[in-house]
Amino acid sequence: MTLIATMNRSFNTLAIATALLVISACSLGPDYRKPLTVEAENFKYHKGWQPLPEQDWESSDRWWQLFNDPTLNSLVATANENNQTVAQAEARYRAAQAQRQHSRSSFSPELNGSVSGSRSGGSDISVEESTSAQLRLSWEADFWGRIRSQVEADHAALQASAADLAAARLAIQLSVVSGYFNVLTLDQQRRILEQAFQAFTRSAQLTRNQYQAGIVSRADVIQAETQLQSLRSDLYDLQNQRAIEENTIAALLGQTPVTFSLADTNNLPAVPTLPAQLPSELIARRPDVVAAERYVAAANANIGVAVAAWLPNISIGASRGVNGISFNDLWNAPIHFWSLGPNLAQTLFDGGARRADHDAAIARYDEQVAYYRQVVFDSFRDVENALATVSILAEKTVQQEKLVALAEENERLITNRYKSGLVSFLEVATSQNTTLNARHGLANVNLSRLTAVTELAGAIGGGWEIGDTVKHRVK
């Protein structure tokens, strides 16, 4: 029988043995079951919240468009492309992809090649030379499912990384939206102060005129001037706060403050109306909930890896090579050799290392289960808080608008009485400050309502519109 025929027959034997091992392979790790958690059939502040068929957790990726603000849409789009925190999460996602591919490569045989040469000798012997070239094919039979468990763990970790990427992107989007609304509110607050400044200036001039006419005392003039000066100081505070918010948005957009600015705007966006029914399954698509559940799956698979470490490592190897005295002999008249056979390796004593690894894997699984359940509890809390704020502030807005109207009417009446000499300037100042505070309060309530809707969108992993667009789906 020729050497080539012998090698072919040997490799056929290897292929048959490989097929048998693949067919008979089993996994000793525990089967994964999603941990049980609480489910909310309803919420305190939204009667329409009800279960719907499970939706994809990544399906709503344009939630900020609910506010119908072109400037906001442009800012979020820029942040999605340029934010460096998102870029870090994307790099971690690519690393997780590479890790999964690395694990999957263990299913395939490994082919190694080597060429070596040596010279040996001594004082009493002649110098001897030898050269060799060899190809070695080895394959680990995943008889106990260790490799499959590792691939399963890395695949779950990849899915968790995709969810972490979505969570990072969502967090940046929420920060941009929140910062933008803060800037709009500061602009509105500035306009309120400017209007009040004009009114206070007229009051101060009226007080000076009356003082010159001998109707009021110098104390009224001082009080009017003090009130006016206080507004000047408040305007500087608003200017500083706006600069800080604008610079914060610039950083979120991956820009330097000197290259970024937001034009003054007149109005806040309208508060979106919540739908009559909200699907409770939306919580299940929150990126942090998905990531936590996938890390549980990865920890469960790692238990299988730890169990397989107790069992023998079975591999099959085949090699073929040539020997010669010189490198030329490897091509001209080599000595052929080959080998084929299985290998069984078992650790007999490790001082308890495998037991410790197994116990640690179980502990990490228990930790991830507890973390996952806590994230679910936190998600229900976040939704409930946002729903409560949206519901309560809707009514507060109505009451605050009534307060503004009453304060403005009271200011008009007090100012007219002051002109007639019936009251002191103290009552005018009090009424003006009441009106100013009421207007500030209304602006803050509107900001809080927009913030609450933004937080609700974040609490359910995006907007409540269920769409078809899916990004970073892990196959």
Beta strands in 165-204 (DSSP E): none
Q: Identify the pLDDT of residue 122.
A: 64
Q: Identify the pLDDT of residue 281.
A: 60
Beta strands in 142-281 (DSSP E): 278-279
How far apart (Å, rounded) are the C-alpha atoms in residues 204 and 227? 9
Burial 424-450 (b: 16+ CB within 10 A, else e): bbeebbebbbbbbebbbebbebbbbbb
How far apart (Å, rounded) are the C-alpha atoms in residues 176 and 180? 6
Q: Domain residues of the chain, as ranges?
A: 28-119+144-311+372-459
- Maximum C-alpha span of the chain: 132
* Both structure tokens of 296: 């549980």
CA distances to 47, 261, 270, 281 from 277, in Å: 8, 39, 20, 12
Q: Identify the pLDDT of residue 280.
A: 57
Fold of domain 28-119+144-311+372-459:
Outer membrane efflux proteins (OEP) (1.20.1600)
- Pick out the chain residues at pLDDT < 50: 1-8, 10-11, 13-25, 47-59, 465-475
For residue range 173-226, what is the model confidence (pLDDT) as tens digits?
Answer: 999 999 999 999 999 999 999 999 998 898 889 889 988 988 888 998 998 899
Q: Which residue has the tokens 């609490």?
A: 459
User: In the 8-state DSSP scheme, what is residue 68?
Assistant: -
